[in-house]
A and B are shown apart, each in its own frame.
Chain A
Amino acid sequence: MELHELTAHELGELLKNKKVSAVELTKTVLDRIEKVDSKVGSYITVCEDEALKRAKDVQEKIDKGETKSPLAGIPMALKDNMCTEGIKTTCASKMLNNFVPPYNATVAKKLYDQDTILLGKLNMDEFAMGGSNENSYFKQTKNPWDLERVPGGSSGGSAAAVASNEAIFTLGSDTGGSIRQPASFCGVVGIKPTYGAVSRFGLVAFASSLDQIGPLTKDVTDCALVLNAITGHDPMDSTSINIEYPDYTKALVNDVKGMKIGIPKEYIGEGINPEVKKSILDAIEVLRKLGAECEEFSLPITEYAIPAYYLIACAEASSNLARYDGVKYGYRAEKYTDLLDLYKQTRSEGFGDEVKRRIMLGTYALSSGYYDAYYKKALQVRTLISKGFNEAFSKYDLIVGPTAPTTAFKIGEKANDPLEMYLGDIYTVSVNIAGLPGLVVPCGLDSSNLPVGLQLIGKHFDESTLLRVGYTFEQNTEFHKNKAKI
């Protein structure tokens, strides 16, 4: 095995025992990027010099015994919607093509504090809007399992980078499935933590009440390690919750005996690809055999989750993205006649189609006369969805189901049908609407040799249960050992 193929916890041991240096490891991963990224296209920005310099500094700390971080010296990368001081943060948009933030996102700061090495910034759907990375202004990230297919999105670069060993782990953001769906498509582990568990400060907002940052990793153990590094209360984010966060590695226990698992009927009924369904049911069977009590139940109003999600997310986005007006930073149209025209031209030229579509949808939903029929209704649905989950969690320790109705689809296949693209979010959006944690672990391959991801949904702030079940599943199956051949 080559260094870049190892997990963070394996590399951590090697680094600690001086079997490998941070510089050597960083160089290896940079070489790997050099070798495969022209095919995969995970990165928007690679910061080679900074990464090597940092690796040198971190190695000195390791040598002097000045770091206790289990992630010290691990090369990682961030989705390009997380602000990095002095490093371009584009959101894969022409609008922020030239934007260099003068501040770090809290997650970037936390990972620096853990002595990790930032390799660069990852491709995504523009402003995190999309499920295929087809909405990036810069390029199409490809699925390392099949370069003709999408990696999923919006954190497509984050998932593809891990799957192609172009980073040991990455961070993505998840507003309606944007970590979990690409994790599923690329055969990696990904978690969307509970809303409020990870600071959003410095995450360029798409939909503030739904956005959450989380790790994409090679296995569940790495997922726990990275969660340990990035969760926690942040006084800079009013929606960050101030509680005692557990040591997630303590949850890595190979035992699910007696655990009560609910499977929403609506998630394995109509609309799901039969091969995906089979993988999911097989995975549930594995858990049952390991002693978990699994039963189907009905999660009501699942069919309203997508419209409610798109109304809320677009409404918030229409306001969050209004600041990109050509006045202060980012793109400004070259030709305009007056102020209004400056806004019009800048925003027409600076945003891509999907972003514009969602801004218009959101603006409409908030307009006087329509607010009650759309936005307010969506908030009511939100309350009902949360209620449905609460009831389920009075019976079950966690909920298990598919992540997406299909495996990775062909590039261009859905590009002209936004509605079909939106329907692909059916199993993920409710989790954001209710603010719950959702973990995805690989659970099989379909007949085209494409990965399927099992989604585990937990109670608020109960990431530990998800990690425990995910870890147990991993320890008793070989699916996580399937790797993209690139």
Chain B
Amino acid sequence: MEYEIVIGLEVHSELSTKSKIYCTCTTEFGGEVNTHCCPICTGMPGVLPVLNEKVVEYAVKAGLATNCTIAEYSKQDRKNYFYPDLPKAYQTSQYDLPICKNGYIDIEVNGETKRIGLTRIHIEEDAGKLMHDEWDTGSLVDYNRCGVPLIEIVSEPDIRSAEEAKVFLENLKAILQYIDVSDCKMQEGSLRADVNLSVRPKGQKEFGTRTEMKNLNSFRGIIRAIEAETKRQIDEIESGGVIVQETRRWDDNKGISYAMRSKEEAHDYRYFPEPDLVPIVLDKEWIEKIRESLPELPEARKKRYVSEYGLPEYDAGILTSSKALSDFFEDAVSKSSNAKAVSNWIMGDLMRLLKEKNMEAEEIPFSGEYLAKMVALIDKGTISGAIAKKVFDKMFNTGKDPEVIVKEEGLEVVSDEGALVAVVTKILENNPQSVADYKSGKEKAFGFLVGQAMKETKGKASPQIINKILKEELDKM
């Protein structure tokens, strides 16, 4: 039987505000254990929370950038459960009145655009971290992350494949980075996802029973978990079993998921309105102001790259997939008259080097301006394409101005015809066989001779001029 997968995602993203959601502690990552906390975020008796207004602003930005309706009235609620990483024994979150609802993100898979609905986005606080490993006799708790603001983005069950899930997450990540509300660094846990998944026979209207997989924190892990869970559910059904609604824990090392003990998941969170905080009431005008302040989003940029610079859709898609990469392109293009070439260098050599060195686009060691300069050097004929590759590598490794590199290493194209005639004469003398081959009609030999001449000049000669001189000299023979 053919099955259809139905996926809904709950994505937690850490907001990049400077201070925590209910106190003034820093949100900076790292730091000695329990140094980024205070009586408020460690839930000491008698302390009270005060909502960081930036958190509201960032959440509203995220909502507007994902086409949500922003609630003019929303409230915060307590989600009650006991765990040592949660010092108040409740997480302040939003239950029935979230700050954003009914949005969507468009994704493109296999050349087709599809709309993935967003049920809601709400604000909440992160918990601390338990450290089990180092101690045999007990565990230690680090409250540094406690009270770091998060938004939870809940999608509709509109996703139908692992690939769609991946593209959805990539787009979401790009959007959050573009509007500068989250750095989305997965390795620091600032983007995590829970996956709700069910399968059903193709054509069936009703959803199958779903399972929930918790806290996946890499794109690769999410894809693998989706694939494995899909297979598990189909196998179960095929072998006559039934799917149990349950929470499962994904083990990324082993590539399998486990059902969590029912005790672990049987939470009754006893949500109720947080009495220490007042409702969030937003002014229409303020919301509009935030909307106007939003920067150009990835989708719009992509379209503009195609229409304005004539880039292929694919290239435009890659360039805009990361804000840092796109900003780099913008920087370069603003100083260049050859957008196409700039794009090609980024898509080719830059992406290759980043991959080789395991670096992120944020870490590109030179400015867009330098890339623009380098493209200009090629376009003006100051350096050849072959030399440019060397210059580019050098620029990547040293961060130096390409003009300086070219000057220091004497890489300008040699266009002095007298000097090049001497080179060509020498090549012809050294390769009589090739000359004979050429004369007997073997065109290939010409290419070999050009290559030799270029080699002799270490690539600095203009290939056009070499071609011309070589033709002339051969004709003379």
A-to-B contact residues, CB < 8 Å: 81-83, 89, 91, 96, 99, 101-103, 105, 200-205, 207-209, 235-239, 315-316, 318-319, 322-323, 325, 327-330, 339, 343, 363, 366-368, 371, 375
Contacts and interface: CB of A to CB of B under 8 A. Distances in A.
Contacts of A209: 275
Given A367-B268, A368-B268, A101 B82 contact: no
Contacts of A102: 39, 44
Nearest to B23: A236
Interface of B: 39, 42-51, 78, 80, 82, 84, 87-90, 141, 268, 270-272, 275-278
A194 to B, nearest CB: 15
B51 A238 contact: yes
A237 B272 CA distance: 19
A379 to B, nearest CB: 8
Contacts of A327: 84, 87, 141
Contact of B278 (A91, A103, A200, A239): A239
A328 B41 CA distance: 12
Nearest to A103: B39
Contacts of A315: 272
Q: Tell me the interface secondary structure of chain A in the complex.
A: loop
Given A319-B90, A319-B270, A339-B84, A101 B276 contact: no
Contacts of A101: 39, 44-46
B83 to A, nearest CB: 8
B88 to A, nearest CB: 5
Contacts of B49: 238
A205 B46 contact: yes
A319 B84 CA distance: 15
B33 to A, nearest CB: 14
20 contacts: A89-B45, A96-B45, A101-B46, A200-B48, A202-B46, A205-B45, A205-B46, A208-B275, A238-B51, A316-B275, A319-B90, A322-B88, A323-B43, A325-B89, A328-B43, A328-B44, A343-B82, A367-B268, A367-B270, A368-B270
Query: At the interface, is chain B mostly helix, strand, loop or mixed?
Result: loop
B270 A99 contact: no
B276 A239 contact: yes
A89 B84 CA distance: 23
Contacts of A237: 48, 50
Contacts of B275: 207-209, 239, 316
B84 A322 contact: no
A17 B16 CA distance: 58
B80 A366 contact: yes
Question: Can you list the 3 inter-chain pairs with the closest CB atoms, starting with the nearest?
Answer: A322-B89, A208-B275, A366-B270
A308 to B, nearest CB: 14
Contacts of B78: 319
Given A83-B46, A201-B48, A238-B49, A323 B88 contact: yes
Given A329-B44, A367-B270, A368-B268, 8 more contacts: A101-B46, A200-B48, A238-B49, A238-B276, A322-B82, A323-B88, A328-B87, A343-B82
A204 B45 CA distance: 5
B46 A322 contact: no
A101 B45 CA distance: 8
Interface centre among B47, B48, B271 (most CB of A within 10 A): B48
A105 B42 CA distance: 16
Contacts of A89: 45-46
A339 B82 CA distance: 10
Contact of B48 (A207, A236, A322, A329): A236
Contacts of A375: 272
A461 B477 CA distance: 110
B125 to A, nearest CB: 14
Contacts of A239: 48, 275-278
